[in-house]
């Protein structure tokens, strides 16, 4: 990786492979975003934590590898986790995996999928220096009681602060059949005590990855990524979902509502993770799964950061205001669009359609639909058409486009459809061009954009 590489709009794999966002936090004046990173090939393998920083959630600077395997418990990978700040220090929590046996032909995967998972912690004084060899601490050893969770499939600690202390939600499974979340409590971030588990009776995947509990002024939300949720034999069968939820500190019970919705209706995004932004709002980002590497070189990127808002019991994911603000330069033609992307504002009448370089967005009754078949590789089993649930707030679209990712925000985040694309042409076809407004990045004062503290 080339540290100090700058990317705008969507944070992408600097090379090779990335998956989940990890340790997302606003810390000491900038956003830190770590991520699952395999530095050797554009495919999944022994996990490291890559690291990028941003001041505005639009321009990202890569900062190299923060965490790498260095001890028995994480010898085969530093899996996903989260960050919090306490007394000026950055605390990272993650899952360390140790394979029973490595596959002799490919040491980056476990033979027969057999491994042990422990939860670890590491701290940093400045958010950039991590002493991998000396500073890691096991905080939760592999689970031995199958009535609580699983020694293998327990992972992705997300830590948050309550009124009575710190809490952790940890994804797990009951006997590899039913997804569940484990809840731990701590006073000092170092000693953790198991306090409860939560799951649903109805079929909601066999394991819950990347749980996240998000409190917002309009209501609280539980977000998670159940493995094997979809039954249609299409890829991907694991999907990120969210539900209204409430965590009670007195009883340590997490009450999860029955009605779930997808985090994103393009069904490409996965493993979202939230944090609190500079202004105290909840902001969330997620991994875009890509079916094949770009130019055989890199795979994986992140969607635009979104707010998490609950209004009248509905969970909204509007694009973050800092991103909107930067996409404010109106342009007459796409020729003038920034190479990193453009934004289109429009709305659709019944039966209307626009095509963005071959990616179709259209309205059918009370739904907004998309079709990517002309800009996506013909690989069996991938979904090509998508649609929102029934819309209640109108048909306004705020669309962000870059070479490999189109994000369609409907009614300011009532629903979002984000799709991975390949070979998008730089042109727009619409029934009524007058109703389109096209914007690109307003670079304004460049020095402000490209200034980074040492």
Q: What is the DSSP letter of 39?
A: S
Dihedral angle sign, alpha carbons of residues 303, 77, 53, 16: negative
Asked whether the bond before 359 is cis by omega within 30 degrees of 0, the reply is no
CA-closest candidate to residue 52, choices 79, 34, 29, 68: 34
Please tell me whether residue 212 binds ligand FRU under the rule CB under 6 A. no
Please tell me whether residue 48 binds ligand FRU under the rule CB under 6 A. no
| Spatial distance between the Cα atoms of 154 and 222, rounded to a whole number of angstroms | 17
Least separation in angstroms between CB 11 and ligand FRU: 16
Q: What is the DSSP letter of 240?
A: -
- Count the site residues for ligand FRU by CB under 6 A: 13
Please tell me whether residue 155 binds ligand FRU under the rule CB under 6 A. yes
Least separation in angstroms between CB 270 and ligand FRU: 6
Please tell me whether residue 79 binds ligand FRU under the rule CB under 6 A. yes
Please tell me whether residue 152 binds ligand FRU under the rule CB under 6 A. no
Nearer to ligand FRU, 53 or 117 (CB): 117
| Contact pick of 15, 74, 180, 209 for ligand FRU (by CB under 6 A) | 209
- Those residues whose C-beta lies under 8 Å from the C-beta of residue 424, and which sit 6 or more positions away, are 356, 357, 358, 359, 375, 401, 403, 404, 406
| Contact pick of 7, 46, 80, 119 for ligand FRU (by CB under 6 A) | 80
Nearer to ligand FRU, 57 or 286 (CB): 286
Report residue 277: phi and psi, to 5°.
Answer: -80, 180
| Contact pick of 47, 285, 290, 354 for ligand FRU (by CB under 6 A) | 47
Please tell me whether residue 73 binds ligand FRU under the rule CB under 6 A. no
CB 210 within 8 A of CB 171: yes
Return the residue nearest ligand FRU (CB atom): 79
Q: With 0-12 CB in 10 A as exposed, 13-18 as middle and 19+ as buried, what is 187?
A: exposed
Q: Which two tokens stand for residue 441?
A: 């990045």
Please tell me whether residue 303 binds ligand FRU under the rule CB under 6 A. no
In the shown chain, the binding pattern of residues 94 to 113 toward ligand FRU, with x for contact by CB under 6 A and - for none, equals -x------------------
Q: Can you give the binding site for ligand FRU, defined by CB under 6 A?
A: 19-20, 36, 47, 79-80, 95, 155-156, 209-210, 270-271
């Amino acid at each position: 990786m080339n540290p100090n590489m700058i990317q705008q709009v969507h944070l992408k794999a600097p090379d090779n492979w990335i998956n989940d966002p990890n340790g997302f936090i606003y810390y000491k004046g900038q956003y830190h975003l770590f991520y699952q990173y395999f530095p050797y090939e554009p495919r999944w393998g022994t996990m490291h934590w890559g690291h990028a920083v941003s001041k505005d959630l639009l321009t990202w600077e890569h900062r190299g590898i923060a965490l790498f395997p260095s001890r028995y418990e994480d010898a085969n990978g530093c899996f996903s986790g989260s960050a919090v700040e306490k007394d000026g220090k950055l605390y990272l929590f993650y899952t360390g995996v140790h394979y029973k046996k490595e596959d002799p032909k490919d040491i980056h995967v476990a033979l027969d999928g057999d491994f042990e998972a422990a939860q670890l912690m590491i701290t940093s004084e400045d958010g950039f220096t991590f002493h991998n060899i000396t500073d890691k601490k096991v905080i939760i050893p592999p689970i031995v009681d199958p009535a609580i969770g699983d020694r293998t499939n327990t992972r992705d600690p997300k830590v948050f602060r309550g009124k009575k202390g710190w809490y952790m939600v940890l994804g797990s499974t009951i006997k590899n059949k039913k997804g569940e979340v484990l809840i731990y409590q701590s006073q000092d971030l170092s000693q953790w005590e198991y306090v409860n588990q939560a799951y649903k009776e109805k079929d909601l995947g066999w394991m819950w990855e990347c749980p996240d509990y998000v409190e917002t002024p309009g209501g609280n939300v539980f977000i998670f990524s159940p493995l094997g949720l979809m039954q249609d034999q299409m890829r991907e069968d694991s999907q990120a979902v969210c539900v209204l939820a409430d965590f009670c500190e007195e009883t340590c019970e997490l009450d999860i509502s029955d009605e779930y919705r997808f985090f994103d209706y393009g069904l490409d995004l996965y493993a979202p993770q939230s944090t609190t932004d500079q202004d105290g709002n909840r902001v969330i980002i997620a991994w875009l799964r890509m079916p094949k590497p770009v130019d055989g070189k890199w795979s994986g990127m992140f969607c635009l950061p979104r707010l998490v808002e609950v209004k009248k019991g509905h969970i909204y994911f509007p694009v973050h205001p800092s991103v909107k603000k930067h996409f404010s330069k109106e342009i007459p033609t796409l020729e003038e669009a920034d190479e990193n992307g453009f934004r289109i504002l429009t709305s659709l009448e019944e039966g209307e359609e626009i095509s963005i370089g071959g990616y179709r967005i259209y309205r059918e009754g009370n739904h907004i639909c998309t079709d990517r078949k002309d800009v996506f590789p013909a690989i069996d089993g991938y979904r090509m058409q998508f649609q929102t649930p029934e819309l209640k707030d109108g048909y306004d679209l705020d669309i962000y486009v870059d070479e490999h990712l189109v994000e369609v925000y409907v009614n300011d985040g009532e629903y979002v459809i984000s799709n991975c694309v390949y070979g998008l042409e730089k042109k727009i076809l619409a029934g009524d061009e007058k109703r389109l407004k096209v914007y690109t990045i307003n670079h304004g004062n460049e020095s402000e954009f490209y200034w980074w503290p040492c």
